[in-house]
Copies of this chain bind each other. A is one copy, B any other.
Amino acid sequence: MKIAQVSPLFESVPPKAYGGTERVVSYLTEELVRQGHDVTLFASGDSETKARLISSVEQSVRDSALDHSWMGYHLIQMDVLAAMAEEFDIIHFHTDFLQFPTAKYFSTPHVTTLHGRLDLPYLVPLYRHFDSQHLVSISDSQREPLRWANWLATVHHGIPDDLYSFNPDPGDYFLFLGRISPEKRVDRAIEIALRCDRPIFIGAKLNKAEEPYFKEFIKPLLRHPLVTYVGEVGGKDKRELLENAAALLFPIDWPEPFGLVMIESFSCGTPVVAYGHGSVPEIVEDGVTGFIVSNQEEAVRAAMHIDSISRENCRAAFERRFTAPHMAANYLEAYRRLLAT
């Protein structure tokens, strides 16, 4: 199949550091190439891919509040794509809604995966208006605020099966991975670990906007001898932290659209203790790959009994549901369904 993957330009594909959307675009693109599809990736020039790469900007850009430069580069990318649209059987956007007014003019079928949270009031008139645009959600729960929108499929994320290794014999520490922000609730993760009298490692990015929150609420908690804050981690450090953790703590307080770190954890065999918001009930099998909890009492009890979860079951669930080939197969099925209409 001749497929265009259209990435945001905020990070390279794959990203050098943080950047969930561009990372998933990379996994999908490389897997489709591996399966023999003719894939063109629209992404920043510092991207690396086995697909044909079309770049409208040399370096990835960032979403700057001070100017609209990011938008300028995205509009150029869209126009470059428009000129080539007829080359493809299908065009797959990962660029939110910026393409809607333009893509209507394409004769090539196209679909947009929404990677972000959808519970923002202004999205209601937007998706009501552009109701002919086909959408893919990354979890069923993500759709909730826009249940009535033009959904084609839910496709859970997948990661390469060899990205992490299964580790049957982990350390005794718990792990928090993500951003420092009120909705990620690293404070809850620390409390759970301390009440279990277990060490906790925190690998977390701190954005400038969250520095006041960090200083007031989180920094004081880091002094405890069982708590180790290692800042933002990637690559080998992240892999080792995940593979050797006794459990990943995911005590979120927001409607997480997917939560990539949960399936990364499973791929190491590491079970997950998660609050049941957003996508969590679709990702974690309660009692099988971890525990779904609704308060700190339950979370502490779950963490104390984490050894009752089989790490083999976690890896098996990953291989059955959350690999890149699995994601690609689901997208190909959605593409075919769209082409058949």
Which A positions have Cβ atoms within 8 angstroms of B?
Answer: 56-57, 65, 67-69, 71-73, 75-76, 78-80, 82, 96-98, 100-102, 104-105, 120-123, 125-126, 129-130
Q: In the complex, which residue of chain B has the Cβ closest to the Cβ of A130?
A: B79
The reply to whether A98 and B75 contact each other, CB–CB distance below 8 Å, is yes
Please judge, given known A-B contacts A65-B65, A105-B105, whether A75 and B126 are in contact too, CB under 8 Å: yes
Could you show 25 A-B contacts with beta carbons less than 8 Å apart?
A56-B125, A56-B129, A65-B65, A67-B122, A68-B96, A69-B121, A69-B122, A71-B97, A72-B125, A72-B126, A73-B122, A73-B125, A73-B126, A75-B97, A75-B98, A75-B100, A76-B125, A76-B126, A76-B130, A78-B101, A79-B101, A79-B129, A82-B101, A101-B102, A102-B105
Please judge, given known A-B contacts A76-B129, A79-B101, A101-B102, whether A120 and B69 are in contact too, CB under 8 Å: yes
Please name the 9 residue pairs, one residue from A and one from B, whose CB atoms are nearest each other, closest first: A65-B65, A69-B122, A72-B126, A101-B102, A79-B101, A105-B105, A76-B129, A78-B101, A102-B102
CA distance A129 to B77 in the complex (A): 10
Please judge, given known A-B contacts A82-B101, A102-B102, whether A120 and B67 are in contact too, CB under 8 Å: yes
